[in-house]
Structure 1
Amino acid sequence: MDSLYIHTKVDSILNDAIVKQAFPGAQVLVAKNHKIIFHKAYGFHSYDSLVKVSLNDVYDLASVTKILGPLPAIMKLYDEGKIDLDLPFSKYWKPWKGRSDKKNLSLREILAHQAGLEPYIVFLNEVLKKDKTVKPRFIQKKDKNRFTSQAYKQLFVKDRFKNKMYRQITRSKVSEEKKYTYSGLAFLLFPKLISDITNVDYALYLQEQFYTPLGASSLGYLPEHRSLSNAIVPTEYDSVFRKELTQNWVHDENAALMGGISGNAGLFGSAMDLAKIMQMYANYGYYNYKQYISKRTLKEFTKVQYPENDNRRGLGFDKPLLGNDTLDITQSYPAPEVSQESFGHGGFTGTFVWADPKNDLVFIFLSNRVYPSRTHRNIYELNIRPKVQQVFYQAIKEMKINK
């Protein structure tokens, strides 16, 4: 592959994005044929240009958590016959048994975002008064009896607030029309479900079964409580809840109110460690002489589930747009050249991971596009991530032509 072409093109896209304030900094890692062929950092942690982005920096992964947190655990439990994709989810999450609109929803429908669940519930509204100060019955400034779940430096959530969240999710509406609607609600339930089935703390289960054996030492929840030597990139200046620049703590408010450990968000990790788990996925569950998840299961979870409903999704995993290879780069998601077997996920904070088994390509893009505010949307408007990803596919194409 033409190294000069790759570096010139990626440098141009990323430097232009920084100038146009799509994000203050970013990094890109690409592995091809099981080898890292590109890993480069750009810009700074913030627009004051004080701290340069480093290759081992740790990022708030936002929704990328969904496929690196609860999903590997669910796939392993599926492998072991402990869960069934097509039985009612209420078999495992008992509160849904009494809800006529939820009792027959399957885990397959939920993971493929085909169940008709509401996209999101803003639980922050439950803990704030009209003047945006916290309600003391839900939030305290110190760790004390019944307030041991930590949302931020000096913000402790009532331990039973999780139950209130679970109840609201149970009572939330379900659309009668079964069509693709992205929803993160069930992912808030998955950590407890996984703990209940395994009889092991959810975060500990992930560490023991996946992150530690993979050698992904930076990957995990609650970075403030772990002895990481890596710098953690800041996210958003939060003027509503945390009243300062959010750093070392999860950006997503729902995950924060769950004490930082959730299935919808909350994971932090470095590009190198993300590459390890995504390479394991690209190898259909195999990495470094160990089969973590069966090939059969990975193939099932990474295939499009409901194409007849114009739904591109796999189970938990995102997939290319239907007909993506016929689209221009301005319309495609992700790059039009990715294979139909490829899969991954994006995150609200500006993160993106993608694995392409057919081309044996792993693509990791990390940024903090929500700095200083989530209103910064140039990462989308400028189509940064697909454009960068496309560079590597074009380089592969040129290499094949030149052969």
Structure 2
Amino acid sequence: MRSYIFILFGLFFVLVHGQENPRVELNLGRSDALTYGSPEEVGLDSKVIQARVDSIITNGIKNEAFPGAQVLVAKNGKIIFHEAYGFHTYDSIQPVALDDIYDLASVTKITAALPAVMKLVDEGKLELDVPFSTYWTRWRKISDKKDLTLREILAHQAGLVPYIVFLNKVLKKNGKVKKRFVRASPNSRFSHQAYDGLYIKNRFNKKMYRLIDRSEVSKEKKYTYSGLTFLIFPELVTQLSGESYEYYLEKNFYLPLGAPTMGFNPKLKGFTNKIVPTEVDTLFRHTLTQGWVHDENASLLGGVSGNAGLFATATDLAKLMQMYMQYGIYDGKRYFSEATVKEFIKEQYPENGNRRGLGFDKPLLNNSKLDLKDAYPAPEVSAQSFGHAGFTGTFVWADPENQLVYIFLSNRVNPTRENRNLYRMNIRTAVQQVFYQATLPGE
């Protein structure tokens, strides 16, 4: 019930403050909250930025890297660029708008699961260097998992397998759903909605946990990206906080930040904002996926997960990333201790060739020496910078040294995930680089 009260409060916020003009979303009253400004105010050339970004993005649309996209950049606490390009789909009917809501895919990891984990660490309810099985007790008797630490897990250094396709467990060989797991209408045992007319068994998460329990762990401890524990974190947050994962995030982060579009299952919340569609799903939903999470594993959890499932506008995302970049403070409110943020955003195992922070992605270890085509992200970002990418074509990055937040949102999976031109053309890092190179003469 409390979760729904907070959702209603968020919707009231949207109705009162409006979403037609994204500028009204910002609180202009404090120096540590985002405001609007021009590139020239922060020493950048607006003409160079506009020309170069327009060229990169329109070339991407022309080459079908995505049907549309938007870019938001904040520097020195000012949003100095926010532009929308193209359309929701290649039929060119619905133009991209600045207040559109996007499926963030794996950006969810650092905007939903991670802030919850960080707060619990801050409060002493989780420790990074004791066995994770101290808290996730079902691992205490599993020999290859009982000693894994939260630090190893968050840095993708634990040796866990990258992914398990749980959809295989709910589909028959002919592609039809197994009715013991999926129903066409809800009831008390099937209330987790994955799409219109698709309801997942409430206890399917237990099956996920059992399969994760049985998954192999590599004996060689090296960097291997794995999203498995991000499926576990929502339940862990509930166990440790005594509150539902969704309510915990709304209460502690999204609503205090003034980020009402940030959340799960936006189709159920009545926003006036348009929700950008993702893939034409030929496996599970058998239609264009819009307003429901694209990621199949998250969908089998009713769209509320730690690995994927979060939706937001670019402006709401920018507030959260600005808060991280300011080491846990935004608009006069402290969300984390400075020490906790700095611990999470630093490289954890560089001696093993692992660039990752705790949950956060980091630049390649020799990134500044690489050409753009080989770098990740832009070569000019500082070693202190951090962020994450999402499978649907999303990307967020914050750079404390240069005081720059970069948000790139697209739906490159439309109409199919086989479309990989966004990666081949290196569009996200090319656009990011523009804002490091467009300095005014004499700056």
Aligned ranges 1:41-120 → 2 under 5 Å: 41-120=84-163
TM superposition shift of 1:245: 0.3
Rounded Cα–Cα distance in structure 2 between residues aligned with 1:209 and 1:135? 38
Distance (Å, rounded) in 1 between the aligned partners of 2:207 and 2:50: 50
**Of 283, 289, 292, which aligns to 1:240?**
283
CA distance in 2, matches of 1:133, 1:49: 33
Q: Which amino acid aligns with 2:267?
A: E
Equivalent residue number for residue 318 of structure 1: 361
- Alignment RMSD, CA only? 0.6
- 1:140-219 maps to which residues of 2 (within 5 A)? 140-219=183-262
For residue 383 of structure 1, what is the amino acid of its counterpart? N
Determine what percentage of the aligned residue pairs are the same residue: 63
Question: In the TM superposition, what is the alpha-carbon distance from 1:151 to its structure 2 partner?
Answer: 1.1
Q: How many residues align?
A: 400
Distance 1:25 1:98 in 2: 49
Per-residue Cα deviation, 1:172-228 (whole angstroms, up to 9, x for no partner): 000011010000000000000001100011001100000000000100011111121
Q: Which residue does the alignment assign to 1:393?
A: 436
1:115-158 Cα distance to aligned partner (Å, 9 max, x none): 00000000000000001010111111010231111111111111
Corresponding residue SS for 1:98: coil
Mapping of residues 280-299 of structure 1, within 5 Å: 280-299=323-342
| Corresponding letter in the other structure for 1:282 | M
State the Cα deviation string for residues 51-85 of structure 1 (Å, max 9, x = none): 00000000000000000001111111111111100
Equivalent position of 1:14 in the other structure: 57
| 1:402 is the counterpart of 2:442 | yes
1:288, CA displacement in angstroms? 0.4
**Rounded Cα–Cα distance in structure 2 between residues aligned with 1:365 and 1:292:** 24
- The CA distance in 2 between the partners of 1:285 and 1:159, in whole Å, is 35
Distance in 1, Cα, partners of 2:115 & 2:179: 37
2:268 is aligned to 225
AA aligned opposite 1:192:
E
Cα distance in 2, alignment partners of residues 170 and 2 from structure 1: 53
Per-residue CA deviations over 1:255-302 (Å, capped at 9, x if unaligned) read 000110000000000000000000000101010011111110000000
Which runs of 5 or more structure 2 residues have no equivalent in the other structure? 1-43
SS of aligned partner of 1:353: strand
The letter of the residue matching 2:442 is N
1:140, 1:79 → 2: CA distance?
41
Q: 1:266 aligns with which of 298, 306, 309?
A: 309
Question: What letter is aligned with 1:358?
Answer: E
Alpha-carbon separation, structure 2, partners of 1:115 and 1:214: 33
Task: Give the Cα–Cα distance (whole angstroms) in 1 for the partners of residues 152 and 260 of structure 2.
Answer: 33
Asked if residue 358 in structure 1 is aligned to residue 401 in structure 2, the reply is yes
2:378 corresponds to which of 335, 350, 357:
335
What amino acid is aligned across from residue 186 of structure 1 in structure 2?
T
Q: How far, CA to CA, are the matches of 2:253 and 2:270 in structure 1?
A: 19
The correspondence for 1:32, drawn from 75, 90, 113, is 75
Question: What secondary structure does 1:69 align onto?
Answer: helix
SS at match of 2:263: coil
Shift of 1:389: 0.0
* Amino acid in the other structure paired with 1:133: K
- 1:41, CA displacement in angstroms? 0.2
Task: Report Cα offsets for 1:20-60 as digits up to 9, x if no partner.
Answer: 00000000000000000000000000000000000000000
Give CA-to-partner distance per residue, 1:85-112, whole Å, 9 cap, x none.
0000000101100100000000000000
1:300 matched residue in structure 2: 343
The 2-side partners of 1:392 and 1:51 are apart by 28
Distance 1:30 1:73 in 2: 25
* Over 3 Å off, 4+ runs: none
Greater Cα shift, 145-154 or 187-196: 145-154
